[in-house]
A and B are shown apart, each in its own frame.
Chain A
Amino acid sequence: MAAFLRGLAAAWSCVFAYVLFGTYIGIGALGHDFGFSLGWIALSTLLIWAAPAQVILISTLGSASLIEVALAVSLSSVRFMPMVVALLPMLKDAHTRPRHLILPAHLTAISAWVEGMRLLPREPRGHRIAFFNGLATGLISSAVAGGAVGFHMAAEVPTVFAAGLLFLTPLSMLMSIARNSDALLDRLALALGLVIGPLIAATKVGLDLMWTGIIAGTIAYAVHRLREAMR
């Protein structure tokens, strides 16, 4: 319980609590404009917990076929698989039951993952699941609250302000990941992904994020191995 509360407190001292609040003001306003209820928007945050997927769902559910919507949502969320694979080994110990990892896997999102990877090594291993659940609970609460605020101020958000809200996500993601990246491996993966991402998107091969991850991640990993070998 103490570890859960420590995680909850950590959520409020990281930039993402505020960034998520702002981002979800945008999502709440969008949901209002497309005719969804406040309860539906809050539930979509708790169940989906992925801003890009929620934007797709809200803006296409009224017009596209259900299969198309499901496919678009799913393609936008491929990132969760490698994120969960990298995170869970940090959380578990010899006594961890598989079912205790279901909630942390569900709560994995960019914000919680980035902060978790930074803060978890400081926690004793037995407390990490509770700490992570607390951290992610704090962050998701902020998102739900932001969504409610956005829902109520929907029509009154000026364009420049709305643009500013949308810009919070890439800015804070970039700098939080950069701050976490002490190892060459992470820095290289970040820098290569930033450069290779738009190049692959321009070729229109499809699944560009997956290819960006595999190509840039593998190059970064190869360089890291090469340097280890030369030591």
Chain B
Amino acid sequence: MNAALTDLGPYLALLLVGFLPNEIWRMLGLLVARGLNEESEIVVWVRAVATAILAGVIAQLIVTSTGALATVPLSVRIAAVAGGFLAFVAVRRSVFAGVAVGEAVLIVGASVLGR
């Protein structure tokens, strides 16, 4: 633990550099959303932007993985997503089926090809 953290204490640090910088975006959203209704074109556009940001987060988590996931080769990660998505489409758009198959491909692939 560095000096700054010891000075502040972990709980104060959580509030000041964890909670506040994170929460500010939600509260800004609250301010911006005032007076907007669902049908307004700006809300339709913002929904598309939010969806695209989430897609970007998904791509980032798969392509530039960190921690334990980084030990699994990229090819295995991509094959696992593709396999999972195919299962999702095949089994009446079931998220449970897609996640199960994707995880199975990842774990089998990592065990065979990893290391």
- Chain A positions near chain B (C-beta within 8 angstroms): 14-15, 19, 26, 30, 35-37, 40, 43-44, 47-48, 50, 52-55, 57, 61-63, 65-67, 69-71, 73-74, 76-90, 98, 101-102, 105-106, 108, 110, 113-114, 159-179, 181, 185-186, 188-198, 200-201, 208-210, 212-218, 220-221, 224
How far is it, in angstroms, between the C-alpha of A37 and the C-alpha of B4 when the chains are bound?
Answer: 18
Q: Which residues of chain B are near A174, meaning CB under 8 Å?
A: 58, 81, 84-85
Given contacts A160-B111, A171-B81, A192-B55, contact A89 B18 (CB under 8 A): no
Which single member of A53, A90, A162, A194 contacts B68 (CB below 8 Å)? A162
Q: What are 12 A-B residue pairs whose CB atoms fall within 8 Å in the complex?
A: A26-B67, A37-B10, A44-B18, A66-B13, A80-B29, A82-B50, A89-B43, A160-B111, A166-B69, A167-B72, A186-B51, A193-B54
Assess whether A172 is in contact with B95, with CB atoms less than 8 Å apart.
yes
Are B18 and A47 touching (Cβ within 8 A)? Answer: yes
How far, in whole Å, are A62 and B61 apart by their CA atoms in the complex?
A: 24
Q: Are A213 and B56 in contact (CB under 8 A)?
A: yes
Interface residues of B (CB under 8 A from A): 1-2, 4-5, 8, 10-11, 13-30, 32-34, 36-38, 40, 43-69, 71-72, 77, 80-81, 84-85, 88, 93, 95-96, 98-99, 102-103, 106-107, 110-111, 114
Q: Verify B48–A218 contact, CB threshold 8 A.
A: yes
Whether A163 pairs with B69 at a CB distance below 8 angstroms is: yes
Per DSSP, are chain A's interface residues mostly helix, strand or loop, or mixed? helix
Once A66-B16, A89-B38 are accepted as A-B contacts, the answer to whether A217 and B52 lie under 8 Å apart by CB is yes
On whether A164 and B107 interact (CB within 8 A), knowing A80-B29, A175-B95, A218-B45, the answer reads yes
Please indicate the chain A residues that have their CB under 8 angstroms from the CB of B23 in the complex. 47-48, 106
| Besides A98-B34, A198-B59, A217-B53, 15 other A-B contacts (C-beta < 8 A) | A47-B19, A66-B17, A76-B22, A77-B25, A79-B54, A82-B47, A105-B26, A108-B26, A171-B103, A173-B57, A188-B48, A189-B51, A190-B54, A213-B52, A216-B52
Secondary structure class of chain B's binding surface, majority of residues: helix
Residues of A within 8 A of B28 (CB): 81, 84
